[in-house]
Amino acid sequence: MKYLFLLYGADGPLPEPGTSEYAAMVKEWGAATGAMADAGVLVDCAPLQPPSTSTTLRFRDGEVLLTDGPAAEIKEHFGGFTLVECGDLDEALKWAATLPVAASGSIEIRPVVQVARG
């Protein structure tokens, strides 16, 4: 079963590349996702561009409605994702808890509907 981790980080700028904070962040994330890859559960992962680059789409009454920005205005923003393949929710939760953002922000765990080429 595939689970998508939607990573919600605290609002604010990320550390600048070249700083020691940046190096620490890369190391921390590398360790967490590296362990997932080693365990064979990691399918894909990536950070996203900041919420200011986001567009929200709704289709209403035959018309495409676009809104600048993310769907909900909250203190945390959707900042990245991790896609894992796990046996059940308990296994997925175990891995989600190892990501650094679990401590500073929050992670929404969503099961993925299986789509096969027919």
Q: How many CB atoms lie within 10 A of CB 30?
A: 11
* CA atoms of 60 and 53, how far apart (whole Å): 23
Tell which one of 32, 45, 92, 107 touches other proteins (CB under 8 A). 92
Contacts to other proteins from residues 24-43, by CB under 8 A: none
Tell which one of 26, 31, 89, 97 touches other proteins (CB under 8 A). 89
Nearest to 3 by CA among 77, 95, 80: 95
Q: Is 97 in the site for other proteins (CB under 8 A)?
A: no
Q: Write out the residues near other proteins by the rule CB under 8 A.
A: 1, 3, 86-90, 92-93, 109, 111, 113-118
